[in-house]
Amino acid sequence: ILIRYNARGFDLNRNFPDYFKQNNKRGQPETDSVKDWISKIQFVLSGSLHGGALVASYPYDNTPNAMFQTYAASPSLTPDDDIFKHLSLVYAKNHAKMSRGVACKSATPAFENGITNGAAWYPLTGGMQDYQYVWYGCMEVTLEISCCKYPPAYELRKYWEDNQLSLIKFLAEAHRGVQGFVLDSSGTPIERASIKVKGRDVGFQTTKYGEFWRILLPGYYKLEIFAEGFTPRDIEFVVVEQHPTLLNVTLQPAKHFTATPTFITTTMRIETKNVK
């Protein structure tokens, strides 16, 4: 996909379900294919490559005010705002120019340190960035890497040189935080166990192999794990800077069946793409 619009004239980066406001735009085959893809693979980190500005933009792109049809440009922050700012800064500071925060044109905004909250820049409904995060727990950052929306092919080598280190450093962040397995008492993986970090309401799920990953900055955390037919567990753990924390969890069968608590469930791994 080289542009945001498909052959039917639909903007594909305004075509996803939205957390804050009902998106009434008719779903498109391209969007449905992407949704199906990310529902099957537990992506943990995503960089969405765009043109038209020089900034790393992080969720939320939309705002609760959108429910009332107002679109004031003010920050709309996620429970993982510390991580999103960190990921955005990793990209911007390793880019040849982005962290300078210089406006592309006199009439366009300058972004401090080369990063911005999406809604603080301009609110939008139906973007992939918020969908990835809210529905599947994937940490997606929109990477606006060129002032020119559609740069000529002969400039591509320069863009590669400007972004090479940023891309490598950004993808390496997928190895930060906590990772492990959720198993039953016999050592069998538990698929689709629901997990969240206490105080961070956007959760995620295990793979069919019982695997999970979550990007976190150094600190003390508590993991909350739920699975149908098992007794829930809370586990405290520490994340350090040098390497990911390995945390394997065993769940015991529940004596009496209780419904799995409902919170936003998600999944993860690494992804790169280019839409917007």
- pLDDT score of 267 more than 50: no
Q: Is 144 an annotated catalytic residue?
A: yes
Structural domains in the chain plus CATH codes: 12-174 (3.40.630.10), 178-253 (2.60.40.1120)
Which of 140, 144, 173, 271 is labelled catalytic? Answer: 144
Q: Within 13 Å and on the Cβ side, how many CA atoms surround 54?
A: 24
- C-alpha 245/C-alpha 61 separation (Å) is 30
Which three-class secondary structure state does DSSP give residue 211? strand
Q: Residue 12, Cβ neighbours under 10 Å: how many?
A: 20
Contacts of 232 (CB under 8 A, 6+ apart): 224, 225, 226, 251, 261
For the chain, percent of residues with pLDDT exceeding 90:
72
- The confidence score (pLDDT) of residue 274 equals 45
Nearest alpha-carbon partner for 84 in 143, 31, 41, 43: 143
**Predicted pLDDT of residue 272:** 42
Given a cut of 70, whether residue 264 has pLDDT beyond it is: no
Which position has the token pair 């004031």? Answer: 72
* Beta strands per DSSP E along 123-251: 139-146, 178-184, 194-197, 204-205, 211-214, 219-226, 233-239, 245-246, 249-251
Confidence (pLDDT) at 247: 97
Q: Give residue-wise pLDDT tens across range 208-225.
A: 999 999 999 999 999 999
Question: Has residue 271 got a pLDDT over 60?
Answer: no
For the segment 248-262, what is each residue's pLDDT rounded down to a tens digit? Answer: 999 999 986 555 554
The mean pLDDT of 22-39, rounded to a whole number, is 92
